[in-house]
Amino acid sequence: MISGKNFTVEPWHIRETSFDLDLLDEAESLFALSNGHIGMRGNLEEGEPHGLPGTYLNSYYEVRPLPYAEAGFGYPEAGQTLVNITNGKLIRLLVDDEPFDLRYGELLEHERVLDMRAGTLTRTADWRSPAGKQVRVVSTRLVSLAQRSVAAIEYTVEAVDEFARVTVQSELVANEQLPDSADDPRVAAVLDNPLEAVGHEHSEYGAILLHRTRISELLMAAAMTHDVEVPGRVEVTTGARTDWATTTVICGLRPGQKLRIVKYLAYGWSSLRSRPALRDQVAAALSGARYTGWEGLLESQREYLDEFWDSADVEVEGDPDSQQAVRFGLFHVLQASARAERRAIPGKGLTGTGYDGHAFWDTEGFVLPLLTYTAPYAAADALRWRASTLDLARERAAQLNLTGAAFPWRTIRGEECSAYWPAGTAAWHVNADIAMAFERYRVVTGDDSLEAECGLAVLVETARLWLSLGHHDRFGVWHVDGVTGPDEYTAVVRDNVFTNLMAAHNLRTAAEGCLRHPDRAEELGVTEAEMADWRTAADDAFIPFDDDLGVHPQCAGFTTLQEWDFVTNTTYPLLLHAPYVRLYPAQVIKQADLVLAMQWQSHAFTLEQKARNVDYYERRTTRDSSLSACTQAVMCAEVGHLELAHDYAYEAALIDLRDLHHNTRDGLHMASLAGAWTALVAGFGGLRDDDGVLSLDPRLPSGITRLRFRLRWRDFRITVDVNHENVTYTVRDGPHTAMTIRHGGEDLEISTDEPSTVAIKPREPLLPEPQQPPGREPLRRRLQQG
């Protein structure tokens, strides 16, 4: 676990105060920079030591085999995997004759700081070479949010106490050697040297390398150029070969003198454009970067982020860990999406190769709510990406003998890449999650145009899928069978409540959308009769309820399954220690499922049902998925277990800053990082929108004295400022002077004239705080008890 030893808790920075070789991989993920198009792990400039070198371009992938021990009809035949592209971060340094390498010589001081307002990663190293020469190396890097194809590094070397001859080699390296990751040799073969050289060129100060993936045939180009400043004589030369280009800078530095290099990088890829076109594209991007200059890039980065924080910031008083972590989450979610521009937002963003770089329902379910309220343009682009894959989803549905469109469980480009159908294809809810994200975008932004442009087709085709998946029984009840809900420890079941509620919502939303856009609906071949069928299925959808226990079974029969033995099975995550064939038939839950239904379809449950369901499912949930804690936070808060909710909020937020799932090295968990915002805003702020109204119902746990967050709602910008007694709603600006929200279940008019302060509505929990399975209490509680 990453402890507070090297990492300080500060509101706007992630600061590592000393170098720890054991945390190298994790720090590379935490310090990753991205704009949603380019991603760079926080690797050291000198390249070594490294955990996982990583530079990525969104949706630049290679096709890889999906090996099956036993094949089956309709199994996806090929997978997609994110490719490590040409590394432009490399800047090697030779001090006299010694390579600057933290494993040798003496590291007097080392600090890395991620500045979440500046959007930069700064590193300072005071190092004495084995031969006794001391230098100070300071680097600052950014991946530009303003100029999508551009990254840049300012690199300075200063001689501290005596003259030093320094040689800097600034490089582009393709096909760099990576630690082994794939277990299957067929997969490893594809990923070994994935880039085929197609061209290279250089000038005195820079170079361009062009490569192509072998199977997916995607062309990419990486380019660099440099500005060099140093007192006295300096020699600059550049050389290039197929997989490698180096600009070498040599000079002598007297004590106190500095060599300053600004390295500008540009990246691009295309499946269509020709070599010359792509070459020119990156050359132009590079010229643009140089024209803006280092200071200009810093300035535009800051401006972009100022605007983001102005609509997105969350202030948490009384809990500095959560304050830092929620900003860290917001920052990384923005990085993953800001300039993705109609490409997927992967589960790990562009911070590592975990999950092969795939996007899941994590995007629409967890990341987009945050973006819709804070950076709606990025949410719209992510939805456009999904819509752009509709034809592939139609093909997939047809392949499965279904009508409509079946979106993939995991993918980069749009094809299904999940090789395990019980927790992949059968998780049909992804389709309804996508539909819900379109609807939320429309409701929250008030912008119908995205629905007309591409959303309606998605709503219609997913509604068609539900109709072909579900059926009416002889009593006229509509069921969806053979389905897996969010909980991946219970698969291929009948009537998963979450799925049925979400499907019903999908069906109704499609019908309403068609009424809003009749012409478009006609083009899609929708008839009155079809819409009526959607509504009937939605109205007849079966929602099982266990009258005896007074709770909703997660799926039909769930509450009568065998209880899981939590006393004997104590090694988590269970998926690595217990067979699915034992997990499926038992009441053991990987992640919030029924509890998530109560957040996303809040109106479908009474407060008493929510309290009883939370109590029941808390006792059986392992939180083996990082997607769970944020939902548990929200629902525990709603039913009045505020302290427990705070513990879960903490877990969701600190998942990567403390490496709680022991896999931060593979990349950051975007859903959980977004969930940090959700836990605070939907948990302690009580935000809901599933009724089409902005509803808030704030209530704070004892450890947070004040919570202040910002939202956008239909061109209004609103600040919500909560303490233990009251909440102040401020409408900063908007298209009208007044708007109506719901506060604690009642309408409240708020206006731009003056802030409205109203009392918090306290809520006594109906039931005592529930227990979790032994050993699965939330982290902070465990630490306190220990």
State which of positions 75-104 bind ligand BGC (CB under 6 A): none
Residue by residue, DSSP assigns 275-300 as HHHHHHHHHHHHHHHHHHHHHHHHHH
- The stretch near ligand BGC (CB under 6 A) out of 250-258, 360-368, 551-559, 691-699 is 360-368
For residues 86 and 591, which CB has a smaller minimum distance to ligand BGC in the complex?
591
Asked if 636 contacts 648 with a C-beta cutoff of 8 angstroms, the reply is: yes
623-646 core/surface letters (b: 16 or more CB in 10 A; e: else):
bbbbbbbbbbbbbbbbbbbbebbb
Instruction: Tell me the per-residue interface mask from 241 to 270 with ligand BGC, x by CB under 6 A, - otherwise.
Output: ------------------------------
Residue of 218, 627, 680, 696 interacting with ligand BGC (CB under 6 A): 627
Q: How far is the CB of 347 from ligand BGC (least distance, A)?
A: 4
Beta-carbon contacts of 489 under 8 Å, excluding residues fewer than 6 positions away, are 574, 575, 580, 583, 584, 586, 588, 589, 590, 622, 624
Residue 333's Cα: distance from chain center in Å?
A: 5
Q: How far is the CB of 462 from ligand BGC (least distance, A)?
A: 18
For residues 5 and 662, which CB has a smaller minimum distance to ligand BGC in the complex?
662
Pairing outcome for strands 55-57 and 38-40: antiparallel
Dihedrals phi, psi of 68, to nearest 5 degrees: -120, 140
For residues 349 and 404, which CB has a smaller minimum distance to ligand BGC in the complex?
349
For residues 226 and 669, which CB has a smaller minimum distance to ligand BGC in the complex?
669
Q: How far is the CB of 277 from ligand BGC (least distance, A)?
A: 36
State which of positions 576-605 bind ligand BGC (CB under 6 A): 590-591
Q: Using omega within 30 degrees of 0 as the cis cutoff, is the peptide bond preceding 573 cis?
A: yes
Residue of 361, 478, 605, 709 interacting with ligand BGC (CB under 6 A): 361
Asked if 731 contacts 739 with a C-beta cutoff of 8 angstroms, the reply is: yes
Question: How many residues does the structure list for the chain?
Answer: 786
For residues 26 and 101, which CB has a smaller minimum distance to ligand BGC in the complex?
26
Q: Compute how many residues bind ligand BGC; rule: CB under 6 A.
A: 12
Could you say whether residue 488 binds ligand BGC (CB under 6 A)?
Answer: yes
Beta-carbon contacts of 780 under 8 Å, excluding residues fewer than 6 positions away, are 646, 647, 650, 651
- The upper half-sphere exposure of residue 698, i.e. CA atoms within 13 Å in the direction of its Cβ, equals 26
State which of positions 330-359 bind ligand BGC (CB under 6 A): 347, 355
Q: How far is the CB of 395 from ligand BGC (least distance, A)?
A: 22
Closest CA to 139 of 111, 119, 175: 111
Count Cβ atoms within 10 A of the Cβ of residue 124 and give its class: 0-12 exposed, 13-18 middle, 19 or more buried: middle
For residues 480 and 491, which CB has a smaller minimum distance to ligand BGC in the complex?
491
For residues 360 and 558, which CB has a smaller minimum distance to ligand BGC in the complex?
360
For residues 360 and 466, which CB has a smaller minimum distance to ligand BGC in the complex?
360
Q: How far apart are CA 168 and CA 309, in angstroms?
A: 37
- Residue 771: DSSP 8-state: P
The pair of structure tokens assigned to 61 is 């992938």
Per the residue annotation, which of 45, 364, 488, 530 is the catalytic one? 488
Asked if 71 contacts 88 with a C-beta cutoff of 8 angstroms, the reply is: no
Q: How far is the CB of 361 from ligand BGC (least distance, A)?
A: 6
Instruction: Tell me the per-residue interface mask from 647 to 686 with ligand BGC, x by CB under 6 A, - otherwise.
Output: ------------------------x---------------
Q: How far is the CB of 365 from ligand BGC (least distance, A)?
A: 8
Could you say whether residue 362 binds ligand BGC (CB under 6 A)?
Answer: yes
Q: How far apart are CA 478 and CA 499, in angstroms?
A: 12
Asked if 85 contacts 56 with a C-beta cutoff of 8 angstroms, the reply is: yes
The pair of structure tokens assigned to 270 is 């295309």
Q: How far is the CB of 206 from ligand BGC (least distance, A)?
A: 39
Closest CA to 650 of 620, 680, 682: 680
Q: Where are the alpha helices (DSSP H) in 211-263?
A: none
The pair of structure tokens assigned to 591 is 């992640």
Q: How far apart are CA 415 and CA 443, in angstroms?
A: 29
Q: How far is the CB of 742 from ligand BGC (least distance, A)?
A: 30
Q: Where are the alpha helices (DSSP H) in 184-272?
A: 185-191
For residues 434 and 627, which CB has a smaller minimum distance to ligand BGC in the complex?
627
Pairing outcome for strands 478-479 and 726-733: unpaired
Is 591 annotated in a binding site? The answer is: yes
Dihedrals phi, psi of 398, to nearest 5 degrees: -65, -40
SS (H, E, C) 407-476: CCCCECCCCCCCCCHHHCCCCCHHHHHHHHHHHHHHHHHCCCHHHHHHHHHHHHHHHHHHHHHCEECCCC
Could you say whether residue 360 binds ligand BGC (CB under 6 A)?
Answer: yes
Q: Using omega within 30 degrees of 0 as the cis cutoff, is the peptide bond preceding 774 cis?
A: no
Dihedrals phi, psi of 728, to nearest 5 degrees: -115, 125
Is 590 annotated in a binding site? The answer is: yes
Q: CA triplet 25, 27, 31: central angle to 5 degrees?
A: 125
* Active site (annotated) includes residue 512: no
For residues 346 and 513, which CB has a smaller minimum distance to ligand BGC in the complex?
346
Among all chains, which residue has been given the structure tokens 């062009």? 210
Q: Which helix (H) or strand (E) element contains residue 245?
A: strand 244-253
For residues 302 and 429, which CB has a smaller minimum distance to ligand BGC in the complex?
429
For residues 366 and 713, which CB has a smaller minimum distance to ligand BGC in the complex?
366
Q: How far is the CB of 295 from ligand BGC (least distance, A)?
A: 39
Could you say whether residue 42 binds ligand BGC (CB under 6 A)?
Answer: no
Q: How far is the CB of 615 from ligand BGC (least distance, A)?
A: 23
Could you say whether residue 408 binds ligand BGC (CB under 6 A)?
Answer: no
Could you say whether residue 364 binds ligand BGC (CB under 6 A)?
Answer: no
SS3 558: helix
The pair of structure tokens assigned to 255 is 């004590």
Instruction: Identify the sign of the CA torsion 697, 702, 705, 710.
Output: negative
Q: How far is the CB of 421 from ligand BGC (least distance, A)?
A: 15
Q: How far is the CB of 671 from ligand BGC (least distance, A)?
A: 6
Could you say whether residue 439 binds ligand BGC (CB under 6 A)?
Answer: no
Residue of 462, 625, 664, 730 interacting with ligand BGC (CB under 6 A): 625
Binding residues: 361-362, 590-591
Which residues have a catalytic role annotated? 488
Binding residues for substrate: 361-362, 590-591
- Residues near ligand BGC, by CB under 6 A: 347, 355, 360-362, 486, 488, 590-591, 625, 627, 671
